[in-house]
Structure 1
Amino acid sequence: MRKIKIINGNIITPYRIITNGTVLISGDHIELISEKDIAAPGYEVIDAKGYYVSPGFIDIHIHGGGGHDFMDGTEEAYLKIAEVHAMYGTTAMAPTTLTCAREDLLKAVDLYRSANSKNIKGAQFIGMHLEGPYFALSQSGAQDPRYIRNPDVEEYREIIAYGADVIKRWSVAPELPGAIEMGKYLRANGIIAAIAHTDAIYEEVLEAVENGYSLATHLYSAMSGVTRRNTYRYAGVIESAFLIDAMDVEIIADGIHLPPPLLKLVYKIKGPDRIALITDAMRGAGMPEGESVLGNKDTGLKVIIENGVAIMADRSSFAGSVATADRLIRTMVRMADIPLVEAVRMLSKSPATMMGVESEKGSLAAGKDADILIFDDNINIKITMIKGTVVYTSTDFA
């Protein structure tokens, strides 16, 4: 069993930083976190050189990266996306689909299973996130409108039965006919029911939360705010997420989808334990700017990557993020003035709790998976370790 000792690190816990602490790792688990140097004969030593030692980042909403998309329909895409994002600090992720045909969802389940068994160099898969196809057409965003439809009870029950071991989350517009019953069914099957691409008003959101929905997918993006109907104003999903304390939210913290004032507002109202930072990254993450494709490389939507974000070809709206996890932390700390400890918590402990893997991942504690990062003051990743194995080391860290 491989044994590793990390020394000279500023260790980030969920609530504080341990200066010049020590981490002991046995095999694939953390053995000990200490404020002092611990004698450990026979352990391989990694000198953190005064940098931060952090829990690995957990991305619960991600579509692609490195020129690949989970909708490409290949095992290679799954593996390469996991490897690329590990370079930027992601140690666990929830591969996310797009609105598509039933057959494509079933194929995605098969590919998840086969790729998961071979994924030894990239971020671990912690369950699939199905984003669509049950959305409000008026809030389609960059989702392909050809496949948007109302919940089909026979369809979603078949898909859940087929992928019961891997489907952990499903994003749905709760105001659609049949969506409330679907929320109940998802919860009964241990699947997170999330609200997304929706024009729901507060009363509809409240009913949804009472019937299983617990998470707002990419808050502010493709969802209703205050609307006026026949003179009267109605609170939308955004206001509902703020009002309902029990709702979790995720935010695309690239500094573009949400500018700093909105990042600060979400943080102020919801607090770090109810927020998950997500990349929502498409294939352009980690790639040069220019033309790209959202979704399947052959049949997806043509988009343009410029100024650090993907936009529709007609420049009418955003078409996805090209963020990596390290960028999310930089944005929250530098642009939104969030303490580093809490920014890291929103990309580790909080998403781990939402996904139900907090007993294994999300924080540096004895007994948990040795998913560990070393990064500098600029959140440049120096080392990525997944379950005790170093899968990435930067060229300037030897």
Structure 2
Amino acid sequence: MNYTKIYNGTAITPSGLIKGATVVICGDKIEEVTTSNVSVPGALKIDAKGKFIAPGFIDMHVHGGGGHDFMDNTVDAFLAISREHAKYGTTAMMPTTLSCEKQDLLETIETYEKASPLNQEGAQFVGLHIEGPYFAMNQKGAQDPKYIRNPDPDEYHEILSSTKVIKRWSAAPELPGALQFADALKEKNILAAIAHTDAIYEDVVKAYDAGFRHATHFYSCMSGVSRRNAYRYAGVVESAYLIDGMSVEIIADGVHLPTPLLKLVYKIKGAAHTALITDAMRAAGMGEGKSILGSLQRGMEVVVEDGVAKLPDRSAFAGSVATTDQLVRKMIELAEVSLPDAVKMITETPAQILGLGHLKGSLTKGRDADIVIFDNHIRIDTTIVNGKVVYQNQAPVLSIP
């Protein structure tokens, strides 16, 4: 077996920070996390040089990056996005679609199936996330309205029977037929998530009981308190706070949610029920200017400025250009979250939400050897996926005070 030894770092583990740690990898699994600089004959040795050694970052909602979108429906696009995000510490990702025609979605599924076994140089794919097209029209955000529709049993049963790679599907639970849709997802062990929705509390309780256990890009494109015929109703935001078992995900880029809301989500839901996501579109890792949300052929033109993608009329955000290292950094700087909790929200928590906690999300013996090394400014030094180094930063080493 091939061994790798990472030493002289501070490991971020479920039991706390371990200074002077050594992490031993055997093949594609973590074999040991210890305070001793153990001898591992023949191992590839990586000196962490006093930096942090953490579980690899898991991005459970990402559309693209590096000039590519998953809905370009090419293997090259899938692999390029994987490599791009690995530079920022992402070791596992859930490719995400947008509302589209059924045929486009079937092509994306087919492309995922072709690209996944070829993905050896970047972040691992851990399942496909279907976002849409079953959404509330007035909560469409940057989703193209011509594709938005109510759940269609013939359509979704055909899609679900065509593949086993779908692991998550986001929809509005108040739509006609949405609860039956949730039943179909539950039969396939697919995570049902609430998104682009005008549901009220009573809708959400029924949806939760039917299997909608997660809230997609929390606060974005979802209902809060509303008035109907003079009476106030709690929306999805309040419902997610009230239902202890419901997990949420936030785009912690410092733009989509202001500092007070980042703090509020953390205070109420906590690190164990809050995942950090990039929701990144193709312009992530690129400069500002015009870009395309969705496929190059049928996507929507957007503009990237002020650290976010916007619709051309500036009426709504159109996905983020964030990377996972930025999410951790912003939660520490803006929300005043501790480093261990910020890391937990991008590692252990998404792993648990996705049912991957037995494989990923922590520096624990037997877990997948997905590891990232970074400095005290969350600047990525090394990214390791399944025991293989896929990225190393050649920038000068910075000492930690």
> Does the CA-based 8 Å contact 2:51-2:376 persist in structure 1?
yes
* Partner Cα separation in structure 2 for residue 72 and residue 389 of structure 1: 28
Match of 1:245 in 2: 244
Superposed displacement of residue 106, structure 1: 0.8
8 Å contact from structure 1 (residues 202, 236) kept in 2:
yes
Cross-structure match for 1:293: 292
Looking at structure 1, the residues matched to 36 and 3 of structure 2 have their Cα atoms a distance apart, in angstroms, of: 18
Which position in structure 2 is the counterpart of 1:381?
380
CA RMSD of aligned residues (A): 0.9
Decide which moves more: 36-45 or 357-366.
Answer: 36-45
Distance 1:331 1:189 in 2: 36
Corresponding residue of 1:125: 125
Residues of 2 paired with 1:2 and 1:38: CA distance? 16
- Cα displacement (A) at 1:41: 2.2
1:203-238 Cα deviation digits (max 9, x unpaired): 000000011110000000000000000000000000
Q: What is the aligned partner in structure 2 of residue 204 from structure 1?
A: 203
Match of 2:134 in 1: 134
Q: Distance between the aligned counterparts of 2:362 and 2:307, measured in 1?
A: 29
Identity of aligned residues (%): 57
Paired AA for residue 284 in structure 1: A
Match of 1:189?
A: 188
For 1:54, the equivalent position in structure 2 comes to 54
In structure 1, list runs of 5 or more residues that go unmatched: none
Question: Normalised by the size of structure 2, how large is the TM-score?
Answer: 0.98
Q: What 5-or-longer segments of structure 2 have no aligned partner?
A: none
SS at structure 2 position matched to 1:228: strand
Matched with 2:81 is 81
Q: What do the CA deviations read for 1:316-368 (whole angstroms, capped 9, x no partner)?
A: 11011000000000000011100000000010000011111111111111111
Counterpart residue number, 2:213: 214
Tell me the equivalent position of 1:19.
19
Amino acid at match of 2:82: A
Q: Which amino acid aligns with 1:18?
A: I
**2:115 counterpart residue number:** 115
2:286 is paired with a residue of what secondary structure? coil
The CA distance in 2 between the partners of 1:281 and 1:321, in whole Å, is 5
Name 1:37's counterpart in structure 2.
37
Structure 1 residue 15: Cα displacement: 4.2
Distance 1:15 1:312, change over 3 A: farther
Q: Secondary structure at the match of 1:320?
A: coil
Task: From the superposition, tell whether residues 15 and 237 of structure 1 become closer, same or farther in structure 2 (CA, over 3 Å).
Answer: farther
Distance (Å, rounded) in 2 between the aligned partners of 1:277 and 1:6: 26
Distance 1:14 1:63 in 2: 30
- The one-letter code of the counterpart of 1:327 is Q
- Aligned ranges 1:245-264 → 2 under 5 Å: 245-264=244-263
CA-CA distance at 1:310 after TM superposition:
0.4
Distance 2:328 2:140 in 1: 28
1:340-379 matches, within 5 Å, as 340-379=339-378
Report if the CA contact (8 A) 2:31-2:365 is conserved. yes
TM-score with structure 1 setting the length? 0.99
1:272-311 maps to which residues of 2 (within 5 A)?
A: 272-311=271-310
Is the CA contact 2:3–2:40 (under 8 Å) kept in the aligned structure 1?
no
- Find the residue that maps to 1:319 and give its secondary structure: coil
Secondary structure of the structure 2 residue equivalent to 1:50: coil
